[in-house]
Amino acid sequence: MPYGVSQNMVEICIRGQIRLLDINEALPVKFKKSDVKEFPRLPIPSSLPKPQFQVKQSYNKSVAPKRAASYFRYIEKSPEELDQEIEYDMDEEDYAWLDIMNERRSEHSHSKVPCEIFEQLMDRYVEI
């Protein structure tokens, strides 16, 4: 099954048999009459309750802080500043893969690759 198709499928086990269901298709739902219960209808009130309120005499308005004379401006980062930023974040698969690679490297007496270096390398690789 192609990867794109498998991403739209879910695998479930029904009575010991594994079935694939398409997530985009509607599922027919069947009920037994014994499962369906009728709920009693609530009576509709003849009139709604009247809202009540009181005016408080002791309420003091708080003083709002003064507004700044100017607004904040967004200044885009330069390409040099963007090159310093690392946007790649490792996920669980990356951590597992790096652990396997570091074990292989240690068998050959090579130093381990830290997560930070891996993220830098992947960030540069994705930019290419």
d(CA 19, CA 27): 13
Distances (CA, A) of 47 to 29, 42, 43, 54, 99: 40, 15, 12, 22, 70
d(CA 113, CA 94): 12
Mean pLDDT score, 82-97: 89
Of residues 110 and 41, more confidently modeled: 110
pLDDT tens for 23-76 read 888 887 777 777 677 778 888 888 888 889 888 888 787 888 888 888 788 889
Query: Per-residue b/e over 97-125, b at no fewer than 16 CB within 10 Å?
Result: ebeeebeeeeeeeeeeeeeeebbeebeee
Of residues 111 and 41, more confidently modeled: 111
pLDDT tens for 116-128 read 999 989 988 887 6
